[in-house]
Amino acid sequence: MNVITTVATMETERGRLNGTVALVPTMGYLHEGHLSLVRRALDDNDYVIVSIFVNPTQFGPNEDLSRYPRDLRRDLTLLESSSALGTRHSALVFNPTAEEIYPPGFDDWIEVTGPLTERLEGAHRPGHFRGVTTVCARLFRIIRPHRAYFGQKDAQQLRVVRRMVQEQNIDVEIVPMPTIREPDGLAISSRNVYLTPEEREAALALSRALALTRRLVEEGLTDAEAVRGAVRDAVETPRRRVSAQPLALDYVSVSDEQTIEELETIDRTAVILLAARVGKTRLIDNTIVVPRGARKPPALLALIEADAAALPSA
């Protein structure tokens, strides 16, 4: 597989591509979630570029940058053997160093301001979204993709990136992709490797809580605070049972699906988001809900149906 490590080579190689170009930005340590994005990108486009870059600017000072899992050889093997990229010549991997992306004197920060980036992940991880939008804007300018694929797993990030490309007038289609889950419902994440078996068991409370709230909303519950309370109960009750495993919620949110602003009444398509710390690991998850009797937005059908199928039954 062609692995490109410098911006200059990437720009040259990009210049040679005639046809539609997709970008799948990742931080590596690839898993089925990433591979689902790659497969879809290959189906939709002539060329796919997978970036593998652990972006230092999106980690806070007390976060896990130095211990974030990295294994390029494993990632390349996975891409080749999973038939995601296979032997196709249409795929490239861009694996730059931090100095390539952030040369000395770098000051070209790209930021989305306002509630969309200030709440939830933005409040708990100051500077995180500035790092995300800066690296995405850099990648979009270097690679000039027609489409870029992002997972609903990082729901707020997806919306922040979409807003950033509007504000910056970057000509790229942002394609949202469903959350891929383990058979028991746990959302797949590179960070899941940190979990001990007991922590992993405790973490299942998150997807179970989301499954429960989906059912409550489908049955007609529209009081957002009642939904938030039900999530907290569902997450905290098993914690009492698995007493050795601390499972601490950072937030539970019932928000407008597009703006990620908190709702009082679920009178439109909403997203239930949560973040929790399990031992030393921080996990996030979410699910989109549509109030009883309302029409499911066609653009979100794939995301909604994937969760309906993959979340555990509540």
**Least distance between ligand AMP and beta carbon 155 (Å):** 8
Nearer to ligand AMP, 45 or 224 (CB): 45
Strands (E), 156-309: 173-177, 247-256, 270-278, 281-289
Q: Can you tell me whether residue 64 is helix, strand or coil?
A: coil
Among 22, 37, 206, 300, binds ligand AMP (CB under 6 A): 37
Nearer to ligand AMP, 179 or 255 (CB): 179
Following DSSP, what letter does each residue of 277-302 receive, concatenated?
EETTEEEEEEEEE--TTPPPPGGGHH
Nearer to ligand AMP, 188 or 304 (CB): 188
**Least distance between ligand AMP and beta carbon 177 (Å):** 6
Among 142, 187, 202, 284, binds ligand AMP (CB under 6 A): 187
DSSP state of 310: H
CA separation for the pair 70, 52 (Å, rounded): 10
Regarding 180 and contact with ligand AMP (CB under 6 A), the answer is yes
Q: Phi-psi region for residue 120, left (φ > 0), alpha (ψ -120 to 50) or beta?
A: left
Q: Can you tell me whether residue 260 is helix, strand or coil?
A: coil
Nearer to ligand AMP, 156 or 213 (CB): 156
**Least distance between ligand AMP and beta carbon 274 (Å):** 15
**Least distance between ligand AMP and beta carbon 233 (Å):** 25
34 is catalytic: yes
Touching ligand AMP, residues 17-36 (CB under 6 A): 26-27, 33-34, 36
Nearer to ligand AMP, 102 or 150 (CB): 150
- Which residues fall within 8 angstroms of residue 142, CB to CB, at 6 or more apart? 7, 10, 11, 14, 94
Answer for the pair 213, 239: CB distance below 8 angstroms, yes or no: no
Answer for the pair 146, 22: CB distance below 8 angstroms, yes or no: yes
C-alpha pair distances (Å), 304 with each of 21, 109, 260, 309: 27, 34, 17, 9
Strands 21-26 and 147-151, by their bridges, are parallel
- Displacement of CA 117 from its chain's centroid (Å): 15
Touching ligand AMP, residues 54-93 (CB under 6 A): none
Touching ligand AMP, residues 139-168 (CB under 6 A): 150-151, 153-154
Nearer to ligand AMP, 180 or 235 (CB): 180
For 35, the token pair is 């591979």
- Which residues fall within 8 angstroms of residue 60, CB to CB, at 6 or more apart? 125, 126, 127, 128
Annotated catalytic residue, options 34, 89, 128, 146: 34
**Least distance between ligand AMP and beta carbon 190 (Å):** 5
Among 143, 177, 224, 249, binds ligand AMP (CB under 6 A): 177
Nearer to ligand AMP, 154 or 199 (CB): 154
CA separation for the pair 5, 32 (Å, rounded): 24
**Least distance between ligand AMP and beta carbon 26 (Å):** 4
Among 189, 207, 213, 245, binds ligand AMP (CB under 6 A): 189
**For residue 269, which of 152, 144, 143 has the smallest C-alpha distance?**
152
**Least distance between ligand AMP and beta carbon 19 (Å):** 23
Number of residues this chain uses to bind ligand AMP (CB under 6 A): 17
Active site residues: 34
Report the interface residues with ligand AMP, using CB under 6 A. Answer: 26-27, 33-34, 36-37, 150-151, 153-154, 177, 179-180, 187-190
